[in-house]
Amino acid sequence: MAERAIPGRIHVSSQSTRSGLRGGQSSGAGSTGDRRPIHRSPSTSPRKFNMAQTCLSCLKYLMFSFNLIFWLGGCGVLGVGIWLAVTQGDFATISPSYPFLSVANVLIAAGTIIMVVGFLGCLGAIKENRCLLLSFFIILLIIFTLELTGIFIFISGRDLIDKYAHRDLTKGMRLYSTEGNAGLTKAWDIVQTDFRCCGVENYTDWFTAFGEDKVPDSCCLEYGKGCGATLSKTNFQEGCYMKVMDVLEQYLLVVGIFGLCIASIQVLGMAFAMVMYCQLRKESSKYY
């Protein structure tokens, strides 16, 4: 009876020993370092991480392509502006208060701005640089705000703008054919010839400008040297201001559609930049 009890004790003690050994191994493992399995959160799982990287790559190349087209458009606008500046020589605006606002200068300035903004967007996208993307967003937002402000001022103060334009154009007529104003003279000749008009309101505006009853030769239906002094009844008699405004109103729908396209491109650019900026910020926050 006693001899049979001993193996039982040994068996029990061996189980305890094995349990103790296992416990010792566990405690030993614990003492050498925490080897418990790491439970990943759903946000850091490999599958979702790869999906986020794929979305970021798609967004990066989409924004790069968008800004590349934007940059190429700026190159085209700049090229047209340079071509006008070279071919038209001293052609200037007919406004004496703002002689630098010629078509060529406006296109050159606009093309340069578009190229710089487009390059900034391309570089920020391909380099995945948050600073460049944020700068791109802020510049586009400023340009968009200025455009909206200009449209609001034009719509709300159109009567005041018309009054100022009349006064400024009439002032410019007095500088016609004077020394140092070859560009303004050429501009008036082109407008009067192309629109078949004379003066601001009508041909008599030139009487006040010249101080005598004559008009520029560009007011003549049949051009000839000194034909403006004859005051032929076949000369252009309608004013240029309303002629130009009538033509602009005919293309108002086209101008509106073009403006909406430009605004849409700017909004898309800002959206792409901000989404990519937030995504990059989210990705970088996982490592800190």
Mean of the pLDDT values across residues 19-33? 42
Listing DSSP states for 122-183 in one string gives HHHHHHT-HHHHHHHHHHHHHHHHHHHHHHHHHHHTHHHHHHHHHHHHHHHHTTTT-TT-HH
Whole-number pLDDT of residue 279: 84
Is 118 a residue whose pLDDT tops 80? yes
Q: Which residues contact 27 (CB under 8 A, 6 or more apart)?
A: none
pLDDT of residue 97: 73
For the cut 90, the answer to whether the pLDDT of residue 75 exceeds it is: yes
* Among the listed residues 118, 111, 110, the one whose alpha carbon sits nearest the alpha carbon of residue 135: 118
Q: Note the pLDDT tens digit of each residue in 170-180.
A: 888 988 988 88
Contact 217, 226 (CB under 8 A): yes
Asked if pLDDT for residue 29 goes beyond 80, the answer is no
Whether 200 shows a pLDDT value over 90: the answer reads yes
Q: Answer yes or no: is pLDDT of 41 > 90.
A: no
Domain coordinates of the chain in residue numbers? Answer: 46-140+262-285
233 pLDDT above the threshold of 90: no
Q: What is the per-residue pLDDT for 32?
A: 41
- Check residue 288 and give its pLDDT: 52
Higher pLDDT, 22 or 167: 167
What mean pLDDT do residues 50-76 have? 83
Instruction: Kindly write down the DSSP assignment for every residue of 60-82, as one continuous string.
Output: HHHHHHHHHHHHHHHHHHHHHHH
Distance CA 103, CA 95 (A): 12
Computed over every residue of the chain, the mean pLDDT equals 78
Quick check: 157 pLDDT over 90?
Answer: no
d(CA 215, CA 269): 51
Residue 113 or 2, more confident: 113
Structure tokens at 66: 């968008």
CA separation for the pair 167, 199 (Å, rounded): 12
- If you average pLDDT over residues 187-192, what whole number do you get? 90
CA-based torsion, 96, 101, 103, 105: positive or negative: positive
Are the beta carbons of 241 and 229 closer than 8 angstroms? no
Please identify which residue in the block is written with the tokens 């570089």. Answer: 123
- Alpha-carbon distance of 3 to 150, in angstroms, equals 108
Average pLDDT over residues 188-203: 92
pLDDT value of residue 36: 43
